[in-house]
Structure formats: C-alpha cells, structure tokens
Structure 1
Amino acid sequence: MKLRIASYNIHKGVMGLKGLKRQSLTIHALRDQLHSLGADLVFLQEVQGRHDRHAGRFEHWPEDSQHDFLSKTPSAVDDLLGHSSQRYFSAYGMNAVYPHGHHGNALLSKHPIEWSRNEDVSDHRLEQRGLLHCRVNTPAGPVHTMVAHFGLFKRSRIRQASQLVQHVHAHVPPDAPLIIAGDFNDWQRIIGPELEAGIGVREVLPQGNGLLGRVFRHGSFPCRFPVFGLDRVFCRGFEASSAQVLSGPAWAGLSDHAPFVVDLTLGAGH
C-alpha cells in the first residue's frame, strides 16, 4: 500500500499583522492548494475551530470549522450553493481555547478514521500544545497517525517528546504501522534520536534541490526562505520513496510554514 502524506502548519488560515486591515484571508487558497497535492493523509497544525472575531471581520470567513471546510472539495460554485462534497474524513483536536474561539491540530484522511483522541502536552500556560492520535482504517489494515505541535522552548519540547513516547507505548501496539508528523519547532534537531530510540520510528528527511536545497535540505520555515526544519515526519513500518518541502509562488503568502509532502510504502509484514 502506498500513501502520500502532507504536514502543514496553516497559520489559522490568516496572514498579516494581527488586528490590522493588512490581514488577509488565506484559507480558501490553502484549500485549493492542499487538494491539488492528492494526499491520502494531511497532518495540519494551527487549525481554527472557531474564531468569532475573524468571522465578523472577513466577508468570506467559512461557516464551517476549518478542518471541515478543508475536507470538502474546492469549488466556488459549490461554496455559494452550499453543496461542496466531502473528500476527506476529518478529526480535530482542540488545544488553545479563548473567549472568542479555539484552535488546534487536525487530520484529513481519504480513509475512514475509526477513532481519535487528543492529548494535552502543554508544558506551561503560555503555550497550549497537543497531540492528536487517530486510528485510520486503510485497505491494508489500521494505521496509527499522530499530529503533533510542540513548544517553542527546548525544555518543553524535550518533555513533550517524552510524553509522545509514553503515549505510543500505552496506546499503540508495538508492531502497528505508525506515522507521526507536525510542527515540532525543533530547529536544533534534538528530539529525533529520542523518538527513534523510544518507539522505533525513523525520520524522513526532505530531498534537496540545487545548492540551496543541499545546504538547507531540512528547511520548512519561514516559507519564503525555508532554512529551519520545524516540520518533521517520523514513521514506523513504512519506507519513504520521496520527500519534499514545497515552495514557490503558489505557496508563498499562504502560511509562515512550507508544506512537507512524503510518499510512503507500507513495508513487508504489515
């Protein structure tokens, strides 16, 4: 079985300076671009479940939560008629809650999501972080997926990596195929060895293009000049045939991160 996966921090579907008229709504263009990838699984971070202020500020703010909106087939006509068809199953894990709304992680899947659970891995009150765990029923059997968003501080990320390892040991069979992807904020590349040693995953590294690609082959942030490898993919039971951080005019300005796309093949014995 082959799976194309994508990991993307979508910056809540809005770009620009907070609270000013220079803010732009990007969620519609994001949906168009995401669906053009043909991914089987999409691991999303900073997904807006609700935002009453943006709903009042932007004329075309979606009526659906963003994970539901992104799961539907892009069509301007369908949007106007309210008939957009469902292309993906979706699950959402609420991490940050505030008076006017909430945001968190989400998974979009072309295969049915049997169940999902969201684990709070926040390390302090200033950063609400989570781990969204879903079991996806694929034609080759169940695959465990985890959408991660870790903190900005090194000590927080180390503790969150430890929580992830403990969660996998408690809730994922040791021989089950597993994909973990998201925004790990780990530009120092510290937590990868802990995950590899603790739960037997392997990191998938992006393939570089040209001189800059070879020098900054792990970059996904900032989008316009991606030199920091914040967005990462780890898997168990799969082999990667291609891995690429996407850039260029089509993605510029949609988010502060660039999307990371990986093609995986389920290994023998799974």
Structure 2
Amino acid sequence: MELTFASYNIHKSVGTDGKRDPERIIAVLREIDADIIALQESDRRLGERASTIPRALLDDTRWRALPVSKRRRSLGWHGNALLVRRDMNFVAAGPLDLPTLEPRGAVMGELTLNGARIRVLGTHLDLSGLRRRDQIRAMLDHCSNGNAMPTVIMGDFNQWGRLTGAMQDFALAWQIITPGASYPARRPVAQLDRIVATPDWHYVDSGVHHSTLAVQASDHLPVWARLQLPKG
C-alpha cells in the first residue's frame, strides 16, 4: 500500500499578494493530489475561529475533513486540520492539547486501509521554541499510550535543523523526512515543514511542491512524501 502524504501551512488562505483566496488553496491541493493532507493555519485566529476554507469548496474535492475541531465553524484545532480521501474510513479523530505559551495544538486521525490501521497527526509547533520539545514529547506520549500502529506526523515544526533542537526527541525510532526548503514561498530558504514516520513505512520519495500557483497561494510551499506500507 503506497500513500502520498502532504503538509501545507496555508497562512489562513492569504497569499503572498495579500489576498485571501481559498479557491487558490484548493487548486494547489489538486496539484499535489495527496491521499492524506495536514493543513496548518486553516482557521481564523480570532472570534469564532471560522475556517478560511468554506466547506462547500471541499465538497467538490476528493477529500473530506476529519472531525477534529472543538468549535462549530472551525475546520481544525488551533488551525490544524486533516483531509483524507473520501474512500478512507476513519475509526477515531480529534484534537490534542499540547503544552504551550502560544495557541498551538495537534490533531489526530486513525484510519483503516486495506485491512491495516494507521495513525496520522498534524501539528504546528511553537514559534518561540520554548515549548517545542515538550510539544513533540506530548505527541510521542499520545502515540505510545495508544495501540501500536504505523504512524505519520506532519506539520510546520518551526525548527530549522533537521536533527537539532526539538527534533532530537524523535531519536532513531522515527524517520525524519525533510523534503526541502519551503519557507518563504517566494524564495524558500528554511526547511520548517516536515513529515516524520515510524519505521513501519518504506520511504519512496518526497519533495517540495513549487508551482507558480503555490508561490502565490501562501507564504509556505507544500511538502509531500510518498510512503509504502509493506504487506503483513
């Protein structure tokens, strides 16, 4: 079973031209055509934290949003949302509270595919770095306290070094996939967006989606990874 995972900080659907254009975000997602997508900054920061992507737009795509929000008008939790192919069955989904000085969090979904059960988490970690390690440990604790299963964690880790700082907490037990520089979108130099997987997965390929539309749609470029889950 081979799946394409993608992570995309959509900057509240505001592009590098300063315009909020959710249809442009959807167009970029169609270009990537991933099976499972983690979005960051999908909701507005204030008020009712309403989704910046109207649900009617998602209705015309191959994805549905997992029910991970705590607020009626939100797509995610602290802006983190998970989109999955419509033919995928989920058995659990919800928000994860992380230790934080800023409004940060994570979301989780457990899916069944071809008889296999997998877990996927989406997150946007602390910008200051003061609680980033605690946040990663909280997600790892959640995974270890639940049933063992192939897991993928995706998001904007806000960590420059691939194996430095908070990323060290993944140690050798996880594959840290850093597809490349994805921020800022117009001239990317920072590798903040990553996909981390348990050893159950066989790495196939990964990259940064750098299209003309993606450069305009958000201040981050999307990243993706193709992973294979061997039989048995």
Bucket of the pairwise TM-score, normalised by the shorter protein: 0.7 to 0.9
- Match of 2:216? 253
- Match of 1:90? 65
Closer/same/farther in 2, CA of residues 268 and 67 from structure 1, 3 Å limit: farther
What is the TM-score normalised by the length of structure 2?
Answer: 0.85
- Match of 1:36? 31
Task: Give SS of 2:38's match.
Answer: strand
Closer/same/farther in 2, CA of residues 195 and 109 from structure 1, 3 Å limit: same
Closer/same/farther in 2, CA of residues 92 and 11 from structure 1, 3 Å limit: farther
Aligned residues: 223
Question: What's the CA shift for 1:152?
Answer: 0.7
- Match of 1:12? 12
Question: What's the CA shift for 1:228?
Answer: 0.7
Task: Give SS of 1:30's match.
Answer: helix
- Match of 2:74? none
- The whole-number CA distance in structure 1 between the counterparts of 2:205 and 2:56 is 28
- The whole-number CA distance in structure 2 between the counterparts of 1:122 and 1:36 is 35
Note if 1:234 corresponds to 2:196.
yes
Note if 1:45 corresponds to 2:45.
no
Closer/same/farther in 2, CA of residues 23 and 65 from structure 1, 3 Å limit: closer
Q: In the alignment, which of 78, 93, 99 is matched to residue 116 of structure 1?
A: 93
Any conservation in 1 of the 2:5–2:36 contact (CA below 8 Å)? yes
Residue deviations 1:55-101, cap 9 Å, x none?
9xxxxxxxx76273453325xxxxxxxxxxxx2231254489xxxxx
Question: What's the CA shift for 1:3?
Answer: 0.2
Residue deviations 1:98-118, cap 9 Å, x none?
xxxx85211111112222121
* Alignment gaps of 5+ in structure 2: 72-76
Larger-Rg structure: 1
- The whole-number CA distance in structure 1 between the counterparts of 2:54 and 2:124 is 16
- The whole-number CA distance in structure 2 between the counterparts of 1:222 and 1:122 is 27
- The whole-number CA distance in structure 2 between the counterparts of 1:267 and 1:51 is 43
Taking every aligned residue pair, what percent have the same amino acid on both sides?
27
Q: In the alignment, which of 186, 190, 208 is matched to residue 224 of structure 1?
A: 186
Counting only pairs closer than 5 Å after superposition, residues 67-216 of structure 1 correspond to structure 2 as 68-69=55-56, 71-73=58-60, 87-94=62-69, 103-110=78-85, 111-124=88-101, 127-171=102-146, 173-174=147-148, 176-189=149-162, 190-197=165-172, 200-206=173-179
Any conservation in 2 of the 1:49–1:94 contact (CA below 8 Å)? no
Task: Give SS of 1:247's match.
Answer: coil
Task: Give SS of 2:117's match.
Answer: strand
Any conservation in 1 of the 2:22–2:52 contact (CA below 8 Å)? no
Closer/same/farther in 2, CA of residues 255 and 12 from structure 1, 3 Å limit: same
